[in-house]
Structure 1
């Protein structure tokens, strides 16, 4: 009788027998990559066999208590047995610990175990905070006037010390279940959680049953996110399982279209061998027969969604939903909520009243009950180690806000701290200090205020409370609504990527502001990469007192590059100041009031563009060389035909500015000549502070800027008092001129070398092309000549390809009367 007839027979079934050995032998055939072929009748018989199997229920797995190795407490200096605490309590053991000992896994028993800790009176702490077991709500404490005494808590004279009692119950310490699973179920869980990540655009229509299922799904997703509401609403389309034109399985959103809607979810990589395509097909097509067959086979091997979970996690974790799929009581494949294991262990803490702690510096903790769960993971940093790290962090100073985990681990200050703390460990790390610090995310939890705007606001408030006015570095913090500000025609329109508010922070020391008031020649620049998300407007000026005794404290010149925001902002600021003097007349145009001048008219009186930036921007202009020559001619003291030159430049598509010619400015000629032609000073200061760090956080940029400014102020003070300069350079203008000449010649020479390399590459290509041409011509000639003459024909004379000569300065081709020092900065080459 075959197996199918046996299973379908109407005769009474015989008694059940154990066939585990036979199933185990069948399971050995399911090796990786094995394909077992059988007839359809055998497959139907196996399906019927699976439905008739009756598994014997196994008792639920009970987590084991902590191992004994953690209950020995080797740090205890003494152990007593059967010690009376009061009339109603006698502990089986009493462990006594010296000063500074931290216990993470206190021993407990049904009768109760006592732990006596010695505490420093001047640094009183709660030893129960070191316990890794999560503690629940208080169960009661002694009231004032109802203090108790403990026989072994006495002062130096042997008198009993009054103590207060606090009782706490251990929280539900463990969560079940978290299980390990195969990649396919993790993939299905991720798809169910994410869905189609495309923005919500098309409407998805559901019937009544699907609508109810969709609401239940959204509620379940809300539990998984623990109340977090996503900022972007994503597509709610169904994920479908189908096949491409070449027969490969794909998973895609129902709104996906290859021709006109490609932004929806589409995954064609599921056939790369990473997933079980048969199981994915059965789940998406709701083939319950195939699902039962695959999952029952997996259950027989000890894995799958129908196997009982055995993995636990700490009560303090934020995860409340199992990240993998399980079968619920109704057979649905879901991510189920994790259950709490109850723990009835209670501990009582006896500590002397504050006025008796010096006489009796001990705390007694009694732990009563048995833990029905495994020990928790050491994921909590002990308070003593945490306090030591918090005391260490301020020593990082300006490096603290920009500390990442990697930067902290390799910082010399932390290495020195760990070496002193752990002298017997080679190359110690934070994980050697405590296991929980292997989780590098603990670093971010130590800086609770953050390092962005809120962190800067906190630093500003602390500075206001703790520092005198003269020592404050942050002068003000302002947050403005862009809609309330004036709009000018030159302003760029705001985009959707711009922040909703404009935030300004003014940072300047007291001494720096005093020196700015006495500065005559000022330069400015805008930094774009030092602080993430912020532009940095910087001011700098020459210390003229080191070179002359005569100064009047008036601002004579402001130099900057061609960034439009700087010049326009300075003009608006000067116009606002001029409004305070409505009856004051202009010095340069005596018939006009200062209050009536426009922003650009104010710039005519003090603003000057950097010549280096002008020439650099002229080189970048996409115009003819003749127009560039006209642009360069504007950089002068006086121009013979300014208006016609400006008109010609504008007609050719270029731009011009009046802050490059003294004739078009109201600045005195002596001031123009004495002022700086370039903004090298602010560019040097900008590059110098960038060495302190770029791409910093806001708080990190502020602290590093304060360190840099203080360093510069102290260096300047030392020079003024002792004549010691910050380098061996004398600072004489001749050194700067010599360096400038060398730099110009080096730049000029590098340009010539670059052109020579281009010529050499061109000659190489010409030579290769000419050799190919010669070979081709020889082949053609060999085929066209008769055989008799071919043997006696001499080889053709090798021709030299045209070569490009190396560059020669143009002054070699000019008349000898022209001096070499006036050679133009241009070169030429020709083909011979």
Structure 2
């Protein structure tokens, strides 16, 4: 992309930033947005209103394929479902005379621990991560990934078989050198204590990037593992009363990493989907001719009846541009604008 596109002109940027908040826009017979805002960057947590909130993205200057990927609904942080039906609308009132495609999805909410804090019993129409209980949610998420890695390491059976006898080796931390685009880096993994050169199917697990390696190493060296995850002699002091564990609806894990007390028993909580389905619906509208109508719209209708899920997806354009940076070592004039919009 060239920097002389109107989209990147300073006066044009100022104009976009000063676009007023509009009221009432029709996107279909029964689809209305009572508030419309214009953006240059994708909103991972699009605002929502019971009467409809429209996030309109100006994609002037973008390659059409890249724009559709970067501003795709799959990049929102909410789990969503529905049949994914895409309809063609010949005359959308917001884009008069322009043929557009409309996709409808439903928010699937989140999963929370059965001992969830009452602070999590809230709905929202926008996301502000400066709110105190979000800090507790992030801390709980870090603990979850740390504990989950330990559980998986011990409960995942080593697959090596020698003369009909299964391997009984224990998990251990290992290290290998990874080379990407001529750049080498050290990576940790979880292997098997019985592994020998040339043997196949031993335990091998890559450690997720969001796990604190030093803390994980300490846990391997200093903590004993218990099959049910609880050391009743030591863990009573670690019991918490209010849990801030929030997981995306799509997660397969169903055990909370924190210990809770019910009566005289110490238990691990079960992570369940909230009983009431989230009423929010997402609508994604893309003009067929983005070159002459360079706007993509997400309309969110309803009020989320759950806390927001924590970030877990890296936006497409960020991943794409970071890869270009890795491939091109001579970018000396990189700015945040160039990273987000793809001018490298």
Structure 2 distance, partners of 1:225, 1:349, is 41
Q: CA deviation at 1:105?
A: 2.2
3-state secondary structure, aligned to 1:102: coil
**Residues 368, 319 of structure 1: alpha-carbon distance in 2 compared, 3 angstrom cutoff:** same
Structure 2 distance, partners of 1:310, 1:370, is 21
Structure 2 distance, partners of 1:385, 1:175, is 29
1:559 aligns with none
1:162 to 99, 118, 129: 99
2:287 aligns with 352
1:377 aligns with 310
2:259 aligns with 325
1:421 to 328, 335, 342: 335
Structure 2 distance, partners of 1:107, 1:376, is 14
Structure 1 distance, partners of 2:258, 2:264, is 15
TM-score by length of structure 2 reads 0.52
Structure 2 distance, partners of 1:137, 1:227, is 31
1:310 to 219, 244, 257: 244
1:392 aligned to 2:325? yes
Structure 2 distance, partners of 1:109, 1:384, is 27
Structure 2 distance, partners of 1:104, 1:170, is 13
Q: CA deviation at 1:106?
A: 1.2
Q: CA deviation at 1:391?
A: 2.1
3-state secondary structure, aligned to 1:371: coil
3-state secondary structure, aligned to 2:292: coil
Q: CA deviation at 1:91?
A: 1.5
1:677-826 alignment runs, 5 A limit? none
1:174/1:373 contact within 8 Å kept:
no
Structure 1 distance, partners of 2:37, 2:154, is 42
1:228 to 156, 159, 165: 156
TM-score by length of structure 1 reads 0.24
3-state secondary structure, aligned to 1:384: helix
**Residues 226, 131 of structure 1: alpha-carbon distance in 2 compared, 3 angstrom cutoff:** farther
3-state secondary structure, aligned to 1:322: strand
Q: CA deviation at 1:332?
A: 4.0
Q: Where does the alignment leave 5 or more consecutive residues of structure 2 unmatched?
A: 1-15, 118-135, 137-142, 160-166, 171-222, 224-230
3-state secondary structure, aligned to 2:94: coil
Structure 1 distance, partners of 2:48, 2:18, is 15
**Residues 149, 331 of structure 1: alpha-carbon distance in 2 compared, 3 angstrom cutoff:** farther
Q: CA deviation at 1:129?
A: 4.4
**Residues 312, 226 of structure 1: alpha-carbon distance in 2 compared, 3 angstrom cutoff:** farther
1:509 aligns with none
Q: CA deviation at 1:75?
A: 5.5
Q: CA deviation at 1:136?
A: 2.2
Structure 2 distance, partners of 1:94, 1:226, is 51
3-state secondary structure, aligned to 2:89: coil
Q: CA deviation at 1:376?
A: 3.3
2:226 aligns with none
Flag the structure with higher strand content: 2
Structure 2 distance, partners of 1:378, 1:418, is 30
2:102/2:285 contact within 8 Å kept:
yes
Q: CA deviation at 1:385?
A: 1.3
3-state secondary structure, aligned to 2:22: strand
Q: CA deviation at 1:97?
A: 2.9
Structure 2 distance, partners of 1:312, 1:178, is 9
**Residues 233, 335 of structure 1: alpha-carbon distance in 2 compared, 3 angstrom cutoff:** farther
Greater C-alpha radius of gyration: 1
1:90 aligns with 32
3-state secondary structure, aligned to 1:326: strand
Q: CA deviation at 1:152?
A: 2.0
2:45 aligns with 105
2:260/2:266 contact within 8 Å kept:
yes
Q: CA deviation at 1:348?
A: 0.7
1:337 to 270, 278, 285: 270
1:77 to 19, 22, 26: 19
1:347/1:365 contact within 8 Å kept:
yes
3-state secondary structure, aligned to 2:83: strand
2:77 aligns with 133
Q: CA deviation at 1:79?
A: 1.7
**Residues 283, 86 of structure 1: alpha-carbon distance in 2 compared, 3 angstrom cutoff:** closer
2:188 aligns with none
Structure 1 distance, partners of 2:305, 2:17, is 25
3-state secondary structure, aligned to 1:391: helix
1:179-219 C-alpha deviation (Å, 9 max, x unpaired): 98xxxxx9xxx8xx98xxxxxxxxxxxxxxxxxxxxxxxxx
1:320/1:337 contact within 8 Å kept:
yes
1:546-695 alignment runs, 5 A limit? none
2:110 aligns with 173
1:78/1:97 contact within 8 Å kept:
no
Structure 2 distance, partners of 1:109, 1:350, is 17
Flag the structure with higher helix content: 1
How many positions carry a matched residue from both structures? 224
Q: CA deviation at 1:88?
A: 1.7
Q: CA deviation at 1:93?
A: 0.3
Q: CA deviation at 1:130?
A: 7.4
Structure 1 distance, partners of 2:261, 2:308, is 28
Q: CA deviation at 1:313?
A: 4.3
Structure 1 distance, partners of 2:260, 2:27, is 49
